[in-house]
Amino acid sequence: MFKIIWAILSKLPSNKLILFLRLFLLKKRSGFKIGKNVKIGKNFGLYPGISLSIEDDVIIGNNLSLKSEGRNGKSILSIGKGTLILSNVLLDCTGNLSIGKNCHIGRGSKIYTHFHDHRNNLLAPKDQPIVVGDVNIGDGTTLYEEVVVMSGINIAKNCIVGLRTVVTKSFEEEASVIAGIPAKTIGRRFNK
């Protein structure tokens, strides 16, 4: 019944009543914690087996896609207070995904928490094992449009990740400016 009602509500244009009904339905769903003043756009694609924790004042744009590669309810998506997630974003929740407080996730960005291990050439691609790696995005970090973050990555607090950057390694230094394919540190956000 939840899936049917959710499918209908997620397609309707956002107004105060529809937003209220979406949030009411999410709050009633087991394993979901939704804060105050949360706004969720249309076509919020829920995938079974993902536990949600969304803090206060989060805004999620249209066409957010959540996916999971079959971990049977073991993954957690945590979104910190005041975070803005723009439209057409894909969040892979095969592993745990934590987005800190006051973050900005740009349009068309993709964050992955798994990959297929292609090192064994004796296995067909469909039989290759899935490797899961949790992703953590630090408080105050901005990912501009069409950024791709691969699994197992940590990005420190207050970083800026440039347009169309592909993040293939962790960045532990706070306030880094990160860009490129593959990503590298190109500067500092704040002067010391």
pLDDT band at 180 (very low <50, low <70, confident <90, very high): very high
Question: For residue 2, what pLDDT is reported?
Answer: 64
Please indicate, yes or no, if residue 86 is contained in any of the structural domains: yes
Quote the percentage of the chain above a pLDDT of 90. Answer: 58
Question: For residue 168, what pLDDT is reported?
Answer: 97
Which is more confident, 145 or 26?
A: 145
The parent domain of residue 51 ranges over 47-188
pLDDT band at 118 (very low <50, low <70, confident <90, very high): confident
Please indicate, yes or no, if residue 3 is contained in any of the structural domains: no
pTM: 0.87
Q: Is the pLDDT of residue 19 over 80?
A: no
Residue 129 has, within 13 A of its CA and on its CB side, a CA count of 4
What CATH number did the domain enclosing 76 receive? 2.160.10.10
The count of structural domains within the chain is 1
Please indicate, yes or no, if residue 15 is contained in any of the structural domains: no
Please indicate, yes or no, if residue 171 is contained in any of the structural domains: yes
Q: 36-45, 98-107, 127-136: which has the minimum mean pLDDT?
A: 36-45
Please indicate, yes or no, if residue 134 is contained in any of the structural domains: yes
Please indicate, yes or no, if residue 29 is contained in any of the structural domains: no
Q: What is the mean pLDDT of residues 59-82?
A: 85
